Structure 1
C-alpha cells in the first residue's frame, strides 16, 4: 500500500488501519514503522531496481521522457522515465528517478542531471531519443547531452489550441465567464447542493462541473462540454440563487456548442497520444507501423526516402552482425558442411565428383552465391515488407512484429528501435477529466 498507493509510513500506526487488519486476521502482527522504513521499503526498492536494471541491460535502444515540476511546497523536481520494447514486444515504462532540483533551471544543470541518471543505469549510449516539453532549456539540455530531441506532442498541441483560443477574443471572454460559473459552484455548498437537487428533479446526469486548468487546454474542452450538458440545470440554479449576473446568453451557449464540436477531435488526439502505449508518429515509425505503412503519408514522395533510410540501416545491421558473405566458407568446418546442399541421389554419378564436365558450372554457381551481399538481403527484406498488407487500425503493431520477427530479422530490429519512441512526455494519468 505504501509503495503502490503512496500511503504514508504512519499508516501502520493509524488506529483505524490496525483495527481493520485485526478484523481480517487477529493473529497477524503489523510491522512497525521503523521496520518498514529501515528494512522492507529498501529491500523492495532493491528488488525493483534489480528487475528494471536487468530489463534495461537486455535492450539496445531506450527512449527517455523527462519533465520539471514544482511541488505544493514550491520545491523543484526532475522526473526521468524510460521506455523500451522488451524481448516479448511489450512496451515497458520505468520511472528511473525523481530528484530534487535545487540549482538554476539552465540547460547545463539539467543536462548534467540527465547524464548522471543515465550513467547510473548504464544506458547513456542506448538513448534513441528524449521527449520533453518545448522549453528552450529542456531542448538545449538534451542536445548538450548528445541525444536526439523530440518535442512532446501533447504540449505542442496544447500550445496550438491555447493560441487559437486567445486569437478569438470572444471565445476567451466566454472561457473566463464559464470559469467564474464553475468557481461559484465549487466554492458554495448551497449552490452545489442545489445543483444536485435540480439534476435529480429534471433527470439530468448527476455530474460535477469541471474547472479549466491553465496548463491543459483540454480542460477548457471538458469545462465547455460539461456546462453544455448541464446548461438548463446551471441556468436554473443561478437564477434561483440570485446569481443571474453569471448566466450566459444564448449567443454564448451557441458559441460554446460550436467550440465543443470544433475541439472534440483535438481532445481525442490528445487522449490517444497521451497513452504510454502510443508510438510517436515520425516518418520512419509510421512506415514501420503495419497498420499504416505508406497509407500514413499524405505525400507519397516521402515514402521512398524512408525506405532508402531503412535499407541503409538494415545494411549496417547485416554488415556488423553477420559474417561476411564475400569470403567462401571453410570446407573443413562443421558450419560449411551443414550449409552444403544435399546431393541429389538421381544425379549422374560423375556430377558428384570434383572436376569433370560440371566444374565450370559449379564455379559459376559458387561465384553467384558469393556476390550476394548485405545490401541484397536488405532489399529483399524491404520488398517482402512492402508487399505485406496493412492490418486493421485497432490491432497491435507490436504483436504483428512479434509474430513476424523471424520473417523480417533485420527490419524487426529497426521496428523495435523506432516504434519505442512514444508521442508525449505527459503521463496518461494527468488528464483533468472527471466523470463523477
Structure 2
C-alpha cells in the first residue's frame, strides 16, 4: 500500500491542479521519496489574477513558491517519477482530496486510488447501499457471487448510518458558516458526544460507538484547554461560558482572558477615555461659563479621577465582567456585527475579538466570507 501526499496550486477551472511537491510513502517497506518539481509555466507568463491566487496559496497554505525547485525535476518528468516509485500495480494508493485523486489517475491507471479526505464518504456509501438493497440482493443472487449480505449485515449498515449522521450534520453546518466558526467547535464536539451517549448500539456497532466516544472525549478536553479556541468561545456573544462542556474549564478560561486582556492595548484605551472625559468636562465648563472656574475645579478633578481607571487590571476585569453579564444573543445573529456595534463599550475585548473570531475552524472547500469589522 502507498500513501501519496501532493501539494500544489489550483485556480478555479482555468488552472487544473498543478503539482509542486510530491511525497510517496511505501507502507510495506517504510520507504519514502520526495520531490519538488519545476513549474510547467514560468511565473512571469501567468495572468495577474492567477498570480494573486498563487501568492495567497504560498503565504497561507503550504509556503511552496511557484518557481522553487530543489531537485531540478521537470514537470514533464513527474509521470516517470510516480511510475518508478509505485512499482506494485496491485497495491492500493491512498491520497487526500478528489482533485488530487483525479490528477493521479492517469499516472497510475492500474492502481486503485482511494480518496481519504471525506470521512463521510463511508456514510454516503452506506446510504446508497441501503437505498439499493433490493437491486444488490438480486444482482448477487443472479451472479451467484460468493459475497452475500445477511439480514444482520443490512441491520448493521442501517444502524451505522444513524451513528454517523450527526457527523455529517456537523460537517454541513460548519461548511456553510459564512461568519464565525472556531467558537462553534467545542459545541459541535459536545453535540456529537451527546448523540453517541443517547444511541443504544449493540455488538458489533457498540465497538464503533465506544471508539468514537473515547476519541471525542479526548478532542473535547484538548479543545477546552486550547487558549485560542477557549477565548474564541468566550468572546462569542452567542455562547460565552455555555459553549463549554466543563464549567471549571470555562471559569479557568475567563481568568486567563482577564490576565491577557489587562495588558492588551492598555495605553490607547486609557487615552481615549481621558480624551472623552476631558471633552465632557470642557463642555460642562462652557455651559457654566458664568460660574467662577474655581467653584468646580476641585469637583471636576475628582470626576476625572473616578471615571478614568488608574488600575489597568481593574479596568480589564470590569470590562470582562460587564460583557459576561450581558444576555446571550440569538444563535442566528451575527456576532461580528454585535461586537462592531459595541467596540466603544468594550475597547479592550474588541481588540482581542479581531484576532480570535477571524480564525476559521475548517479547511473544507466551501465559500466562506469572513466579514471585515
- Report TM bin, short chain: 0.5 to 0.7
Asked if the contact 1:276/1:422 (under 8 Å) is kept, the reply is: no
1:43 pairs with 2:48: yes
Which residue of structure 2 lines up, in the alignment, with residue 5 of structure 1? 13
Q: Could you report, residue by residue, the CA deviation over 1:327-351 in whole angstroms, capped at 9, with x for unpaired residues?
A: x98xxxxx997453423688695x5
> Helix, strand or coil for the counterpart of 1:290?
coil
Counterparts of 2:158 and 2:364, CA distance in 1: 28
Counterparts of 2:278 and 2:297, CA distance in 1: 19
Which residue of structure 2 lines up, in the alignment, with residue 29 of structure 1? none
5 Å matches for 1:86-105? 97=64
Higher relative contact order (CA 8 A, sep 6+): 1
Shift of 1:80: 5.4
5 Å matches for 1:397-412? 397-412=335-350
Q: Structure 2 residue aligned with 1:301, among 231, 244, 248?
A: 248
1:389 pairs with 2:338: no
Which residue of structure 2 lines up, in the alignment, with residue 27 of structure 1? none
Which residue of structure 2 lines up, in the alignment, with residue 238 of structure 1? 140
> Helix, strand or coil for the counterpart of 1:245?
coil
Tell me how many residue pairs correspond in the alignment. Answer: 248
Shift of 1:248: 0.8
Asked if the contact 2:277/2:307 (under 8 Å) is kept, the reply is: no
Counterparts of 2:329 and 2:307, CA distance in 1: 35
> Helix, strand or coil for the counterpart of 2:165?
helix
Question: Which residues of structure 2 form unaligned runs of 5+?
Answer: 1-9, 17-40, 72-95, 97-112, 186-228, 368-373
Q: Structure 2 residue aligned with 1:353, among 288, 293, 309?
A: 293
Which residue of structure 2 lines up, in the alignment, with residue 134 of structure 1? none
Counterparts of 1:255 and 1:343, CA distance in 2: 77
Which residue of structure 2 lines up, in the alignment, with residue 221 of structure 1? 123
Q: TM-score, normalised by structure 2?
A: 0.53
Shift of 1:258: 1.0
Counterparts of 2:133 and 2:336, CA distance in 1: 44
Shift of 1:234: 1.7
Which residue of structure 1 lines up, in the alignment, with residue 257 of structure 2? 310
Aligned-residue CA RMSD (Å): 4.3
Which residue of structure 1 lines up, in the alignment, with residue 362 of structure 2? 424
Counterparts of 1:367 and 1:7, CA distance in 2: 63
Which residue of structure 2 lines up, in the alignment, with residue 253 of structure 1? 154
Shift of 1:311: 2.8
Which residue of structure 2 lines up, in the alignment, with residue 374 of structure 1? 312
1:266 pairs with 2:167: yes
Asked if the contact 2:233/2:240 (under 8 Å) is kept, the reply is: yes
Question: Which residues of structure 1 form unaligned runs of 5+?
Answer: 9-35, 53-78, 83-93, 104-154, 156-210, 330-334, 430-436
1:287 pairs with 2:228: no
Counterparts of 1:251 and 1:339, CA distance in 2: 78
Structure 1 residues 340 and 102, CA, compared in 2 at 3 Å: closer, same or farther? Answer: same
Which residue of structure 1 lines up, in the alignment, with residue 106 of structure 2? none
In terms of Rg, which structure is larger? 1
5 Å matches for 1:98-117? none
Structure 1 residues 256 and 98, CA, compared in 2 at 3 Å: closer, same or farther? Answer: farther
Asked if the contact 1:276/1:427 (under 8 Å) is kept, the reply is: no
> Helix, strand or coil for the counterpart of 2:13?
coil
